[in-house]
Each structure stands twice: as structure tokens, then as C-alpha cells.
A and B are shown apart, each in its own frame.
Chain A
Amino acid sequence: MASTNGFLRSRPALIVSRLILGGIFVYASIDKIAHPDQFAEIVYNYKLMPGMAVNVMAIVLPWVELLAGLFLILGIWVKDSAAILGALLVVFIGAIGINLARGLDFDCGCFSTAGGHKNSSIMLLLRDAILLLPVVHLMWFAPSNRLATRL
């Protein structure tokens, strides 16, 4: 048990979690940033937000993913960036879960804004849940922010 703890606390383990989580979110943000018009339609199709707020979400969300992902990769404010991405994952899980329950046919828009990516919602939920593991790992075991304590 102590050795598992030691491993999770180790630098290589933390770096792997940072790169996986950060890398996935940076990758996921790029296509959305390149095609905000298409991403807006996808957000609209989730039918969870007032229509007037859809574009604000479509414009800003990918940049939150990109910046928090980059900060994680670079090792800046690791716990805070992981917390933001964790919160996004919880929101995504909620959004997909609600639409799964409603039986709505929707495009997840997770990685690409091009159509025809109707993955099974169960798989999406599972993937987002698995991505919460590095979030928990980093928030629990990452050392307190060096940059933050220095400031």
C-alpha cells in the first residue's frame, strides 16, 4: 500500500497523468477552435442551454480546454488546471447522460466538429469517466503549486 502511494506520488507517474490529460484536451480543443461555427451547431444540438448562450459557450469552452491542457503539459498550476478539466468532464458526463436518458440523437462534438461521429453514448460516458482518473490522481498527489506558492 505504501509503495502504491509512493508510486502515485512519484514524478514519472505525475508526468504521465499530466501529459495524458493535458494532451487529450489540447487535441480536443484544436478542431473546435478552427471551426467555431460547426462547434456552435453541435452545442446547440445538445439542447441543454438557452439558445442565446450557445455561441458564448462555443467561443470560450475550447480555449479553456486548450489553456488548462497546456498548463498541465507545462506543469504550471497543475492542481488548478486539473480541477478545471475535471469540472468540464463532470459537465460533459452530465450533458451526455441527460441526452442518453432523453434518447436524443446527437453528435458529441468531442474531438471533431465534422459530422458523422455519432459514437455510442455509453462509450462516451465511459471514456469521460476514465479521464477523471488522472484528474483525481493529480489533484490528490501533485505537489502544491510551486508557482502559486512562490507568488
Chain B
Amino acid sequence: MTHLRNVVIILVLALVTAGLYNTFSGRGIPWVPQEVEVQGSKPRLVLSSSAAAINYIQLKEAQSKFDQGIRFIDAREVEEYRSGHVKGATNIPATQAPEAIRSALAAQGPDREIVIYCDGEECGASTLLAGKLQRLGFTKVYVFYGGWTAWQTAGLPVEKG
């Protein structure tokens, strides 16, 4: 019985420290993720940020923003970006530290529109990066839901390298 008791104590200690850290460290995430409506698709679960300010857009809207010259950011890893990306998109891997993200977007005003994408509908990188950008103060962040897969399939402008 002491064994069971000790296991429970360790687990409870972990739960309490995790809770305190999550509340006070400034790196915390919500205990329960929020669902965000995505037009023409099933809702997407936003895990790591306040979902309120993330706007999910589909191919058509992404294309019109592309035509308006709005900045596209590829949230995938460098190798994936190099093997092909939306024409003119900047690569900022979602796993980068906030400081690196800030300096990569130094020239970008926080109220300018940004479109972020990753592989496709199931990838989390674009949502993750969108959350980080929000915390850095960017207010008009769009996540292109269909991502690279939809863009490529539609035969829209791409480039390599």
C-alpha cells in the first residue's frame, strides 16, 4: 500500500507543480483548448493561444490576399520550405524562439496583415506561429487552412530554394 501511496504522492506533486508553473511562468497554455470555426471545414482546435484573434481562411481568400501583396509566412521547417513554397513567402519555422521571430519581422508593422501557412489542414505549425505572433503584438494574423497542399494543388505561384 505504501507503494501505491508514494506513486499517488508523486503524481499529485507533479500535478500541483505543473499547475503552478502553467499559471505563473508566462509560458502557460490553456488547460482546455478552444475550438475555432473554419469556413467550409470542421472546426480546428487551437491548443496554445487565445483563439479569438486567429482567423482561419481558405484558399480563395488566401489567393486574394496574395494578389493584394500581403505578406505570406511559411511556418514549416527550413528543408520543407526550400523544397518548395508559396512565391515570395518568408520562412519562419514555428519552433523558433520569439526573439528570432521578432527580428525576422522587424520591418513589419504589427497592424499589417500576415498570412501563415504550413503543410495543410492537419499541421499545427501555422496555428502555433500565429499564437506566438499574437503574443508579440501582431493583430492581423490569418492562418491559411489548406496550406501548401491546397496552394500547390490549385496550381498557384510557387518557387523553390
CB-based nearest A residue for B33: A55
B15 touches A60 (CB 8 A): yes
Count of chain B residues with Cβ under 8 Å from any Cβ of A?
38
A55 touches B47 (CB 8 A): yes
Known: A41-B47, A151-B2. A67 touches B33 (CB 8 A): no
| B47: contacting residue among A44, A67, A113, CB under 8 A | A44
Count of chain A residues with Cβ under 8 Å from any Cβ of B?
39
Cα distance, A151 to B75, chains bound together (Å)? 53
Q: Interface with A: B63-71, B83-91, B104-112, B124-132, which one? A: B124-132
- Tell whether A63 is near chain B: CB-to-CB under 8 Å: yes
Residues of B15-48 contacting chain A, CB below 8 A: 15, 17-19, 21-22, 27-33, 45, 47-48
Query: Chain A residues with Cβ under 8 A from B30's Cβ?
Result: 55
- Tell whether B136 is near chain A: CB-to-CB under 8 Å: no
- Tell whether B11 is near chain A: CB-to-CB under 8 Å: yes
Cα distance, A149 to B6, chains bound together (Å)? 11
B10 touches A67 (CB 8 A): yes
A63 touches B21 (CB 8 A): yes
A148 touches B10 (CB 8 A): no
- Tell whether B7 is near chain A: CB-to-CB under 8 Å: yes
Known: A41-B47, A115-B94. A148 touches B3 (CB 8 A): yes
Known: A59-B18, A145-B2. A36 touches B128 (CB 8 A): no
Known: A55-B30, A114-B95. A63 touches B2 (CB 8 A): no
Known: A77-B10, A79-B3, A80-B6. A60 touches B18 (CB 8 A): yes
Interface residues of B (CB under 8 A from A): 2-3, 6-7, 10-11, 13-15, 17-19, 21-22, 27-33, 45, 47-49, 76-77, 79, 93-95, 122, 124-125, 127-128, 131-132
Interface residues of A (CB under 8 A from B): 33-38, 40-41, 44-45, 51-52, 54-56, 58-60, 62-64, 66-68, 71, 77, 79-81, 83-84, 113-116, 145, 148-149, 151
A–B complex contacts, Cβ < 8 Å, 28 sampled: A33-B21, A35-B95, A36-B28, A37-B48, A37-B132, A38-B95, A40-B33, A41-B47, A41-B125, A51-B33, A55-B30, A56-B31, A58-B29, A59-B18, A59-B22, A59-B31, A63-B18, A64-B10, A64-B11, A71-B10, A80-B6, A80-B7, A81-B10, A84-B11, A113-B95, A115-B93, A115-B95, A115-B125
